Amino acid sequence: MTKRLMTGLLAASYLLVVPLTTIAQEAAPRRAPEISQQSVAREKKNAAEAAEWNKIPAPQDPRDFSGVWWTRGYDRTFRPITDPRLSPAEAARLLPMTPNEAASRQHHLDMEKLGTPVADAPTQCFPHGVPRLIASPYPIQFVYSPGMITILHEVAHNVRYIHMDRKPAPADTPRTFLGYSVGRWEGNTLVVFTDHFNDRTQIDEESLSHGLKLTVTERISKFTNKYGGVELRNLITIEDPDHYTQPWTAERLFPWRGDIRLSEYSCEENNRNAPVNGVTVAK
């Protein structure tokens, strides 16, 4: 019996045995939950940040992403876009993993629980990979030039080249950490298709991996949030039939940051994440 069916049967039995007065009470309008002081403080902080970050405004052209953007906080996992009321564990169960990927993910989780997490590319100062790089909690900058959009990532000085000629990767294109990206415009949405990855990176920092069949399609668009600040929304669709039974889409938001510039980042100097025997030693 499925969980959905069981829930329906329980609900039906409940209606059979509960007095009608109780049902009427439950049907009565409920008071709206009181807004917590924490929520009020968070909203006030977000509004103040949006005002500060947009003193120098973002470009008005919806196709112009030039400048610096910076995701809020850090979510080290990628998960399918789901109902926001789901817990992280519930969202993780929606990942369409093949049996091999599920076993690989469990191995990563077990190793991390033991305090010996599996080292991935950036712990050795290699490029993070895509989409792994998109989750990094460092600012990014879009630079436009004829036939090319370049994304500069402060973290480890990762650089992504988006070829806007709409041509697929040349036949002799090597497999690399960041792959080969081709972009096109669909209305005001920048669509970026990336393939030709090597298999030395992960999908996210926590546990998800991929193979040589990985392709990533990003749909990047600009919008104004409820605080009046400008943001980029990146919808990231991941496909790899050896690791996932179907394509799935995650999301990242990048507020405009007119108040900052990219800084130098030296991964090789005093690398506290450097792995020992394939295990990262960072605490």
Q: What is the DSSP string of 203-228?
A: SSSSS-B--TT-EEEEEEEEEE-TTS
CA distances from 120 to 69, 96, 199, 220, 276 (A): 25, 22, 11, 26, 12
- Identify whether 152 is part of a domain: yes
- Identify whether 77 is part of a domain: yes
- Identify whether 7 is part of a domain: no
Q: The whole model's pTM is what?
A: 0.82
Cα 142 to Cα 128: distance, rounded to the nearest angstrom? 18
Q: Containing domain of residue 128, as a range?
A: 64-280
- Counting the structural domains of the chain, the total is 1
- Identify whether 57 is part of a domain: no
Cα 108 to Cα 217: distance, rounded to the nearest angstrom? 25
CATH number of the structural domain spanning residue 131 = 2.40.128.20
- Identify whether 69 is part of a domain: yes
Give every CB contact of residue 174 below 8 A, 6+ residues apart in sequence: 196
Kindly report each contact of residues 163-168 with a partner whose C-beta sits within 8 Å and lies 24 or more positions away, as own/partner. Answer: none
Backbone angles phi, psi at 154, to 5 degrees: -60, -40
Asked whether 190 and 212 are in contact (CB, 8 A), the reply is: no
- Identify whether 93 is part of a domain: yes
| One pLDDT digit (tens) per residue for the chain, 283 residues | 444 333 333 333 333 333 333 333 444 455 555 568 888 998 999 999 999 999 999 999 999 999 999 999 889 999 999 877 888 788 888 999 999 999 999 999 999 999 889 988 998 899 999 999 999 999 999 999 999 999 999 999 999 999 999 999 999 999 999 999 999 999 999 999 999 999 999 999 999 999 999 999 999 999 999 999 999 999 999 999 999 999 999 999 999 999 999 999 988 787 777 777 666 665 5
CA distances from 48 to 41, 45, 228, 253, 276 (A): 11, 5, 10, 18, 44
User: Which amino acid is it at 52?
Assistant: E
Which residues are bridge partners to 221 per DSSP? 233
- Identify whether 25 is part of a domain: no
Verify cis geometry, omega within 30 degrees of 0, for the bond prior to 131: yes
- Identify whether 139 is part of a domain: yes
